[in-house]
Amino acid sequence: MNRLIVSPSPHVHSGDSVKKNMYGVIIALLPALAASLYYFGLGAVVVTLTAVVSCVFFEWAIQKFLLKNESTILDGSAALTGLLLAFNIPSNLPIWIIIIGSLVAIGIGKMSFGGLGNNPFNPALVGRVFMLISFPVQMTLWPKPQTIQLEYLDATTGATPLSIMKEGLANGESVSAIMDKLPSYTELFFGNSGGSAGEIAAAALLMGLAYMLIRKIITWHIPASIIVTIAAFTGLLHLSSPDQYAGPLFHLLTGGVMLGAIFMATDYVSSPMSKKGMIIYGVGIGIITVVIRVFGAYPEGISFAILIMNGFVPLIDKYVKPKRFGELVKTAKA
């Protein structure tokens, strides 16, 4: 007789898979990738390829030689980490630094904890911040965006809007005076400004967000709470002293806020599990980002903010549980 398969229930599955989610995010990143290729040309190609290839390679090598377990490189998470790492660094970064960054991201940030699903911190950001602190010189030289450029290491460099703002304010210039030196909001929206390879085009990133929301890869809670918090906080500051603090739109469209809020803070592994927790997490990221940007030494703070809140995720998960059925009791009238 045909041997029957037995297993505990349920006997059907939604068909969702880790792979589908990861490749879904990669697809969502394609518009931003296109924008970065458009503005940074060869540099973007080199940086992206190096990061993706080395992340996947390191994951494979560590699993093969150190952990001696089954390889999971095909699930797309390493490639995604590589892609996001590439999106977070200048497109003229020397290859050897990118390789170190990938090693740190995958080796320290992910595989030391046992691989996919175990890492408390966002691997790509671990890699990025490690590089930022280790190689501050190279990590703060931003190539100027221009249509289809073919230079890589010797691309002309310029400051990011955020550092121009920070420098300007430090020199006592007023916000409006500095804004005149900067690209318009529309230009910022479509990515025509200096910055990391993948962070510049808010429009492209928002397309990715829409895609992920529709495919139900992520929920709105984290991105929305980050964006709203940043807008509200900078809005308040701006209202209190318009000459000292740039407005919300500026903060949202510059630097990595969009990339961070949409793609990095939402990383499943290092974000909270409950909706309430996600909102707390998002609000925390928003506040810390603004504090670092406005009061701290770094012009940009979202990477740090996400990492810091990653640290709090276990606490959030422990004390902020999803609403349980029957918790809010509506009993019968006695």
Partner 1 sequence: MNQWSNFSKGFFKENAVFTLLLGMCPTLGVTSSAIDGLGMGLATTFVLVMSNLVVAVIKDFIPDKVRIPSFIVVIATFVTIVEMTMQAYVPALFDSLGLFIPLIVVNCLVLGRAEAFASKNKLGASVIDGLGMGLGFAMALTILGSVRELLGSGKLFGTIIYPENYGMLVFVLAPGAFIALGYLIAFINQVKKEA
Partner 2 sequence: MLKTFSLGGVHPAENKFSAGQKIAVLPVPEQVSVPIAQHIGAPSEPIVKKGDEVKVGQLIAKSSGFVSANIHSPVSGKVFKIDDILDASGYKRKAIIIKTEGDEWDASIDRSEDLKTEITASPEEIIKKIGDAGIVGLGGATFPAHVKLSVPPGKTCEVLILNGVECEPYLTADHQLMIEKGDEIMVGTQILMKALKVDRAIIGIENNKPDAIKQMSELAKNYAGISIQPLKVQYPQGGEKQLIDACIGRQIPSGKLPIEVGAVVQNIGTTLAVYEAVQKNKPLFERVVTVTGKSVTKPSNFMARIGTPMNQLIEAAGGLPQDTGKVIGGGPMMGKALVSTEVPITKGSSGILIMPKEIAKRAKMEACIRCSKCVSVCPMGLSPYLLMTVSDKAVWDRAEEEKIMDCIECGSCSFTCPANRPLLDYIRLGKGKVGQIMRSRTK
Partner 3 sequence: MAKTESTLKNMVLTLLVITGIAGTSLGFMYELTKGPIAAAKAAKQQAAIKEVVPGFDNNPGDEMYELTSKEGFALKVFPAKKGDELMGVAIESMTNKGFGGNIKIMVGLKPDGTLINYQVLEHKETPGLGTKMDDWFKADKGQQNILGKHPKTNNLTITKDGGEVDAITAATISSRAFLDAVRVAYETYSENQSSPKADNNTSVEEGGTE
Ligand X SMILES: Cc1cc2nc3c(=O)[nH]c(=O)nc-3n(C[C@H](O)[C@H](O)[C@H](O)COP(=O)(O)O)c2cc1C
Ligand Y SMILES: Cc1cc2nc3c(=O)[nH]c(=O)nc-3n(C[C@H](O)[C@H](O)[C@H](O)CO)c2cc1C
> Mapping DSSP to helix (H, G, I), strand (E, B) and coil, where does residue 215 land?
coil
Nearest in space to 203 (alpha carbons), one of 323, 34, 46, 89? 34
Which residue number has the CB closest to ligand X? Answer: 297
Which among ligand Y, partner 1, ligand X, none contacts residue 134 (Cβ within 5 to 8 A by kind)?
partner 1
- In terms of Cβ atoms closer than 10 Å to its own Cβ (0-12, 13-18, 19+), residue 276 is middle
Residue 311 as a binder of partner 1 (CB under 8 A): the answer is no
124-162: burial string, b at 16+ Cβ within 10 Å, e else: bbbbbbbbbeebeeebbebbebeeebeebeebeeebbbb
Nearer to partner 2, 72 or 146 (CB): 72
Q: Which of 140, 273, 291, 320 binds partner 3 (CB under 8 A)?
A: 140
Count CB-CB contacts under 10 A for residue 231: 18
Interacting partner of 100 out of ligand X, ligand Y, partner 1, none (Cβ under 5 to 8 A depending on kind) = partner 1
Site string for partner 1, 122-151 (x = CB under 8 A): --------x--xxxxx--------------
Return the closest-CA partner of residue 307 out of 288, 294, 291, 280: 288
Residues 45-104 that bind partner 1 (CB under 8 A): 96, 100
User: Which member of 297, 329, 332, 334 binds ligand X (CB under 6 A)?
Assistant: 297
Residue 22 near residue 84 (C-beta atoms within 8 A): no
Told to check if 136 binds ligand X by CB under 6 A, we report yes
Sole binder of partner 2 in the list 35, 84, 104, 116 (CB under 8 A): 116
Tokens of 93: 């970064």
* Among 279, 280, 285, residue whose Cα is nearest residue 257: 285
The one of partner 2, partner 3, ligand Y, none whose footprint includes residue 136, by CB under 5 to 8 A per kind, is: partner 3
Which position among 71, 112, 138, 140 is part of the footprint of ligand X (CB under 6 A)?
140
Q: Does 207 participate in binding partner 1 (rule CB under 8 A)?
A: no
- CA-closest candidate to residue 127, choices 264, 300, 329, 35: 264
Q: Which residues would be at the binding site for partner 1 (CB under 8 A)?
A: 96, 100, 108, 130, 133-137
Q: Which residues would be at the binding site for partner 2 (CB under 8 A)?
A: 2, 4-14, 16-18, 20-21, 72, 75, 77, 114-118, 219, 268-275, 321-332
Q: Which residues would be at the binding site for partner 3 (CB under 8 A)?
A: 136-137, 140, 167, 171, 297
